[in-house]
Structure 1
């Protein structure tokens, strides 16, 4: 597997030199400075690629060309934005960057309630606490009908939790959910998020899925024309938030997506942490079933709790079978090699615990510590090395 590293561009405090020292050879990045919906010009892509290559690295994956909420809802200026998206994909392919990760989550992107959950060893993790999220949804955002979306036990915990929260804790929770991790094109305030939630909830799941398929119908032919593989990232977490529709949360969702567009340009980002946040997703089985359409992999682990809460653990210490998952992916690489196809699947150590000196200095982005990801990459590298040593000769 190709070892890659997410880099947030020239302003990232983790330099390309640091990434090379970690042993990664590929970069996963985006033109983060561009507003969502704008055109990616050929010259801008080429300049970012030149910068990466000047450090002896390869721009392996674009993560991501973001999909504007107007495209997801098919409202506002979505036609122009789809034209821009199509042309951006073509420009990326012409520049030689041929794997594009994207997501189709409405309103909010990956969501956590705590960005500094303290573990027993003193390191800090990202956490999604269902009772805290429900407390925010019901008592702070005051979304109409929110109570109906939670189990009675969660409602009790949420009510108690809200009564215990200080004003500062409420503000911090809101920043974590809305302002700290915005989805799509920018931060939200309470009024705007309520409006956006209502807009997508009125669409419903099947209409929202139809909008995803329409988007692919408009973009996949452009990707095919320049050899780009589009690989959708699953919902994170893979269940409804704020009652919003989710269409990339389960194996059934992935089957529907890949069957609707059997083109090799229509593929999957297999994010172990996202899919693995729900116990009914069998990661190893999914890796085997969808292997031929897996073009990018995020490897991270989680510890799940019965009410849907979870926290991000060490890469080899959570509830997901990381060894089994890596073994299934290596098996797919061997299959590709036998057919003469490009066999290496780009993977990156997704997120990492905050530890060591970074506990005081902080990380450039929540989850994207240098030391934590370095540790995760080393652990995954060890798993890959051990499994390859066990491969039968000539396989």
Structure 2
């Protein structure tokens, strides 16, 4: 497997020199300073690549091999008038990346919001901090802070009551913090920051769109992109919706194996693949991650390896657990990925995802989920599993 590390560019608190010390060999990055929907110029891609690979002659080499992500403009997701220019820019970006030998592209098709959490600093029993999604806090925001139109229709009477109690117990500071956590944008600019009114307006644009409509728009987008990907030797790896269920009345269409089967049934191109984000898919108890790692062997071009622990009383609530200590059997997932590599004679890019904020990083600036020590711990654990499995089950 190719061990990779996500790097947000020159402003990332974790430097390239530090990444070298983790033993990772591949960089997952993007041009985060370019506005969503704009074309990435080849010159800018080449400059970013040169920055990453500048010291490869004298130090442990790093290579920019995976893009995470090329954002998909909301007008494409809506099939809004004039969206063709954004599709054309996305294709041009893909081709410019391929021209620089960067041929694995992670992307997502989540409307309005990217990955969503309610707590960016949830303290664990050992004193470290994790990302958390709390369904009752989310509902409290949706119902009583955002006050989304018809939001009450999406909740049972019991859910409404729990959310109301959470809301009534919150201070003004806690409400502001929750609002910022949910809608103020995330590292990598996959979505823009919103005010509450901006956010309501963005949601309203999707009022007419159901799951079939959004899936149709995804297929229409990929039908244009995939021929160019095939020609350029690019593998597309769609990331699941995170969390993998509908939110804010928005349809989400990459949540389950059934969603993937519909996508690949419509577009069987070998360039059409997935990012197996173990923690995201594992946020649903009905997703069997080892089985998915086995079943989608030919479609897995990239893997995010992290786990979650779900609340036994509310299965939609979870915190991001240690990489090997969660509700997901990570060892079996990794074993299937290794088997996939051997069967298909290829390597899969993997990276540790959303490490805990711990030790010296607690008082150091870091992007939520992307501190250095927690991810290095996760990478070390994953590396140990890979070494052990490779020794126990050597290739024939």
**Does TM-score exceed 0.5, indicating one fold?**
yes
Q: After superposition, what is the alpha-carbon deviation per residue over 1:48-87, rounded to whole angstroms, capped at 9, x for unaligned?
A: 1112122321112000111011111122541111111111
Distance across 2 between alignment mates of 1:293 and 1:67: 20
Q: Is the 8 A contact 1:108 1:181 kept in 2?
A: no
Shift in Å, 1:152: 3.1
Query: Counterpart of 1:241?
Result: 247
Whether 1:197 and 2:200 are equivalent positions in the alignment is no
Distance across 1 between alignment mates of 2:377 and 2:133: 22
Query: Counterpart of 2:273?
Result: 267
Distance across 2 between alignment mates of 1:143 and 1:218: 35
Query: Counterpart of 1:28?
Result: 28
Task: Find the residue that maps to 1:54 and give its secondary structure.
Answer: coil
Aligned counterparts, 1:358-369, within 5 A: 358-363=361-366, 365-369=367-371
Shift in Å, 1:258: 1.4
Task: Find the residue that maps to 1:357 and give its secondary structure.
Answer: helix
Distance across 2 between alignment mates of 1:119 and 1:149: 31
Structure 2 length normalisation: TM-score?
A: 0.96
Distance across 2 between alignment mates of 1:106 and 1:269: 18
Greater shift in the superposed pair: 187-196 or 82-91 = 187-196
Structure 1 length normalisation: TM-score?
A: 0.96
* Structure 1: tracts of 5 or more residues without a match: 338-342
Q: Is the 8 A contact 2:113 2:191 kept in 1?
A: no
Query: Counterpart of 1:123?
Result: 128
Distance across 2 between alignment mates of 1:94 and 1:266: 19
Distance across 2 between alignment mates of 1:184 and 1:70: 14
Distance across 1 between alignment mates of 2:216 and 2:162: 36
Query: Counterpart of 1:340?
Result: none
Query: Counterpart of 1:5?
Result: 5
Q: Is the 8 A contact 1:35 1:185 kept in 2?
A: no
Distance across 1 between alignment mates of 2:251 and 2:204: 11
Distance across 2 between alignment mates of 1:213 and 1:350: 28
What is the number of residues matched between the two proteins?
388
Q: Is the 8 A contact 2:304 2:351 kept in 1?
A: yes
Q: After superposition, what is the alpha-carbon deviation per residue over 1:143-187, rounded to whole angstroms, capped at 9, x for unaligned?
A: 111122123332221110000001100000000000043874411
* Structure 2: tracts of 5 or more residues without a match: 56-60
Q: After superposition, what is the alpha-carbon deviation per residue over 1:70-127, rounded to whole angstroms, capped at 9, x for unaligned?
A: 1111225411111111111111111100000000000110000000001001100000
Shift in Å, 1:243: 1.4
